[in-house]
């Protein structure tokens, strides 16, 4: 089941990047309790600062960021946040969550996908802003030529 919303405009490379980002966020949630340091979000601009400073534990920083996104989701859609918390943070099985919330297992999967899409969308917007900032920093490093004509040709 895909958590990536269908695009409205067709840029295949951007869609593939967005799909990879969504998969990396979902993988980070799934590895919430693992002690493995290999984190799928390492490659993205908005998360690179967590890996640059040795004083910051990258796992803890990413978990805190994901917790904040779930908390923001809780303000808008408490049920979705509860499902994500139970499934990923507390590592509960779908059956357990479905029984506790008195919902069908397929409905839990649907709501989980919706919650993931909301969190991934918010993080994707953050990633795009970080990428634009990174590009602006690079553009400011280059001096613009004083003339538009080539000299010496």
pTM: 0.71
Residue 32 has pLDDT above 90, yes or no: no
Mean pLDDT of the chain: 81
Q: Identify the pLDDT of residue 8.
A: 46
Query: What gap in Å lies between CA 43 and CA 109, rounded to an integer?
Result: 28
pLDDT band at 99 (very low <50, low <70, confident <90, very high): very high
Mean pLDDT of 23-39: 73
Q: Let me know: does 116 contact 3? Beta carbons within 8 Å.
A: yes
pLDDT for the residue numbered 100: 94
pLDDT of 124 strictly over 60: yes
Residue that is written with structure tokens 């479905």 in the block: 98
How large a percentage of the chain has pLDDT more than 70?
78
Q: Whole-angstrom Cα distance, residue 150 to residue 45?
A: 36
Instruction: Pick 41 or 78 by higher pLDDT.
Output: 78
In 3D, which of 135, 86, 132 has the Cα closest to residue 108? 86
Q: In this predicted structure, what is the pLDDT of residue 2?
A: 43
Residue 31: the pLDDT is: 75
pLDDT digits (tens, 9 = 90+) for 55-91: 877 777 888 888 999 999 999 999 999 999 999 889 8
Over range 104-109, report the average pLDDT.
95
Q: Is 53 exposed, middle or buried (0-12, 13-18, 19+ CB in 10 A)?
A: exposed
Taken as a whole, the chain contains a residue count of 153
- Mean predicted confidence (pLDDT) in 101-111: 95
Per-residue confidence (pLDDT) for residue 118, from 0 to 100: 95
């Amino acid at each position: 089941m895909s958590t990536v919303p269908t695009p409205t405009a067709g840029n295949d490379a951007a869609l593939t990047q967005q799909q990879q980002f969504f998969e990396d966020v979902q993988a980070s949630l799934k590895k919430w309790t693992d002690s493995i340091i290999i984190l799928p979000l390492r490659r993205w601009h908005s998360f690179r600062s967590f890996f640059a400073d040795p004083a910051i534990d990258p796992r803890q920083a990413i978990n805190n960021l994901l917790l904040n996104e779930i908390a923001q989701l809780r303000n808008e859609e408490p049920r979705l946040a509860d499902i994500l918390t139970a499934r990923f943070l507390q590592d509960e099985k779908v059956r357990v969550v479905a029984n506790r919330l008195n919902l069908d297992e397929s409905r839990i999967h649907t709501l989980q996908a919706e919650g993931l899409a909301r969190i991934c969308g918010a993080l994707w917007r953050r990633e795009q802003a970080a990428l634009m900032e990174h590009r602006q920093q690079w553009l400011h490093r280059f001096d613009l030529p004083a003339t538009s004509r080539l000299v010496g040709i």
